[in-house]
Amino acid sequence: MKKLICIVFLGAYLISSTELRQLLKFPLLIEHYAEHKAENHSLNLLQFLAMHYNDENIIDLDYSKDQQLPFKSQGGYTGAVLSVFEPTPFYLLIPKVEIDLPVAHAISNESFISSTFRSSIWQPPKAC
């Protein structure tokens, strides 16, 4: 069951975001080939494909049907497009504001800190 769900999701993703959706137009190719074959019985499949894909686009009576063939046009593509885009750097120049604040000086009197306290920091730990 998981395999089937994975195949369905993968197929839906590929058809919606890549050009594989053009394969859904394959019945139109067969139908259009049948129309040309009915007009010209000596036309084979390779000549038909060369006429519609290899030669120049000729605007004739069935031009609208020619544009509906698979891989003939890319209309309606709404997939993601990867582009390398580096945005222009934006610099905002803010003037530096200088505020003169009164400086408070800390008063320290080291005579209150005993020298035994300073030396006790560097003693190794003692076992209890």
5 belongs to a structural domain: yes
In a domain, 82, yes or no: yes
Task: Identify the domain containing residue 20 by its residue range.
Answer: 1-101
pLDDT at residue 34 above 90? Answer: yes
Q: Is the dihedral of CA 55, 59, 61, 66 positive or negative?
A: positive
Would 114 be classed as within a structural domain? Answer: no
**Three-state secondary structure along the chain?**
CHHHHHHHHHHHHHHHHCHHHHHHHHHHHHHHHHHHHHHCCCCCHHHHHHHHHHCCCCCCCCHHHHHCCCCCCCCCCCCCCCCCCCCCCCCCCCCCCCCCCCCCCCCCCHHHCCHHHHHHCCCCCCCC
Residue 117 lies in a domain: no
The answer as to whether 48 is a domain residue is: yes
Asked whether residue 109 is assigned to any structural domain, the reply reads no
Q: How confident is the model at residue 110 (pLDDT cuts 50, 70, 90)?
A: low
Model pTM greater than 0.75?
no
Asked if residue 110 is part of any domain, the answer here is no
Mean of the pLDDT values across residues 27-51?
91
Number of compact structural domains in the chain: 1
